[in-house]
Amino acid sequence: MTGALLEMRQIEKEFPGVRALSGVDFTLNAGEIHSLMGENGAGKSTLVKVLTGVYQKDGGTIRMNGREIAPRTPKEAQECGISTVYQEVNLCPNLTVAENIFIGREPKRYGWIDWRAVNARAQALLERLDVRIDVTRTLDHYSVALQQMIAIARAVDIEAKILILDEPTSSLDEQETERLFKIIRHLQKEGMGIIFISHFLEQVYTLCDHVTILRNGELVGAYETARLPRLELIAKMVGKEVGDVRTMGEAGEKSEPKEEVFLEAKAIGATGVLETVDMKIHKGEVIGIAGLLGSGRTETAELLFGIHAIDRGSLFVKGKPWHPDGPMAAMRQKIGFCPEDRKAAGIIGDLTVRENIILAMQAKEGILRHIPYAEQARIADDCIKLLKIKVSGRDQLIKNLSGGNQQKVIIARWLATQPDLLILDEPTRGIDVGTKAEIQKMAIALAKKRGMSVVFISSEMDEMVRTCTKLIVLRDRRKVAELAGDAVSTDALMKAIAGGAA
């Protein structure tokens, strides 16, 4: 076939002991948005990294416009016209927007950096993408969504022919995502080939023309998105029959909350963090905190766990007034918290799975009451078995696990402390469909079988509706609605979030 912008053929990549890619083909045409899909560990990132020169391929060929290329570094890939925007924004927060866009290739005049040109060109570049902001302010003034768009602007300006977007929407809310999609479509019309990697099925279906599916480092196939039903797509990703997938989507019965209240918050808030939120968390209840990104979901969770100090309202645990003063105080009340940002606030990358699991438990015991190794090993092995964590052994480094398994280790860390209340902030973000369902089921099972209270926070409404018996809806950092029982539905939730504006 002629006209293909990018042809990757029979790509092989081996890591010590693991075959990451074997004989993978991938074709991208100009003016096409092509999704790369697969569960965690399927080889998506490896394929992208081979293409962008982060890894060297062990076999196969890469052709761009018919000419063979072999980028050995990300810089070489960029020179070939391949640009990447990663999940985490790789920009400098303390530089201005314009500086970020032109860093390393500033327009010069008489040997000096021509700041006027830098700013003007940055402004023009962003306007092309329909982003109107002050480019002379530092990057950290702007939301993650805008930073994402600035990263794209930077990538696009480097004469890119291929743009790779790796989970670009995982920290964006719906409006921001819509805005980003507009930009992507705009670039598509300009004839750019775009590789879009995302765990959000909906987004893949709205945006992409084609989808290539990988599983266990092998190619499953390339399909036209419009002709591939969702269930079939999932079935191909997980390697199961369609019938199995249907049942996987449903988490089963919900939990049955008891009368007893574990924690009650009365009009709690903190200046600059959260306005006001009330809630009652019953024993054995899975309660959801819903809202758009930045609506105060994470902030509510962090107030309950003592990360930020509360300066308004009052909290009661089992009927007794309580003022959270740091994470340890919350842990003494038997509260556990899996934070939203797994990499920055969850895992201790260079430590083993065992050490990561026992960390909170050991922190609770204190420095002097050391948990003996045999005991640590037993706890770690129990957790690995219970949560079906995929590891080569308990002493594998956590940074070498896939995202979903890292998340499970963090959950295990808190389960080991035997909490009465477990707060899960975005526990399913950026992890594969199978593990997502497992974590939802686990949240319900904990509430049902152990009588634990679970606070569940997620951007995916379906997931919230499926998992929670009660939803606290936030908007602009305050509680705007509470849905319980039969009122818990996607429609109702969307209406509550949209509020008067809808």
Partner 1 sequence: MKSLKRFAGSSLFLPVVSLLVLLLFNACFVDGFLSLQVTEDGRLYGRLIDILTRSSSLIILALGMTFVIATSGIDISVGAVVAISAAVVCMLIGGRGDGVAETPMALAMLASVCVGILCGAWNGLLVAKFKIQAVVATLILMTAGRGVAQLLTEGQIITVYYKPFAYISGVLPGMPLPTNLFIALLMVLLVVFLMKRTSIGLFVQSVGINPTAARFAGINVTLVLFLVYAFSGFCAGVSGLIESSLIRAADANNAGLNMEMDAILAVALGGTLLSGGKFYVGGSVIGAVTIQTLTTTMYALGVSADQLPVVKAIAVVVICLIQSKKAQDMFDRFKARRAKKHAGGKAVDAL
The contact set with partner 1 (CB under 8 A) reads 16, 305, 307, 327-328, 331, 337, 339, 344-351, 355, 359-360, 362-371, 413
Nearer to partner 1, 372 or 500 (CB): 372
Least distance in Å: CB of 447 to partner 1?
23
Least distance in Å: CB of 387 to partner 1?
17
Nearer to partner 1, 257 or 419 (CB): 419
CA dist 99 and 105 (Å) reads 10
Helix boundaries (H) for 73-200: 74-80, 97-102, 115-128, 144-157, 174-189
CA dist 51 and 205 (Å) reads 24
**191 in Cβ contact with 16 (< 8 Å):** no
Nearer to partner 1, 337 or 456 (CB): 337
Write the CB contacts of 178 (distance below 8 Å, at least 6 apart in sequence): none
CA dist 206 and 208 (Å) reads 6
Coil/strand/helix, residue 49? helix
Nearer to partner 1, 329 or 492 (CB): 329
Nearer to partner 1, 179 or 354 (CB): 354
Least distance in Å: CB of 367 to partner 1?
5
Residue 494 CB coordination number (10 Å)? 14
Least distance in Å: CB of 353 to partner 1?
13
Nearer to partner 1, 215 or 334 (CB): 334
Nearer to partner 1, 16 or 272 (CB): 16
Coil/strand/helix, residue 361? helix
Residue type, 97: V
Least distance in Å: CB of 303 to partner 1?
14
CA dist 214 and 38 (Å) reads 5
Neighbour order of strands in the sheet with 210-215: 82-85, 162-166, 193-197, 33-37, 210-215, 218-224
Which of 405, 38, 426, 437 lies closest to 201 in space, CA to CA?
A: 38
Least distance in Å: CB of 350 to partner 1?
5
Least distance in Å: CB of 363 to partner 1?
4
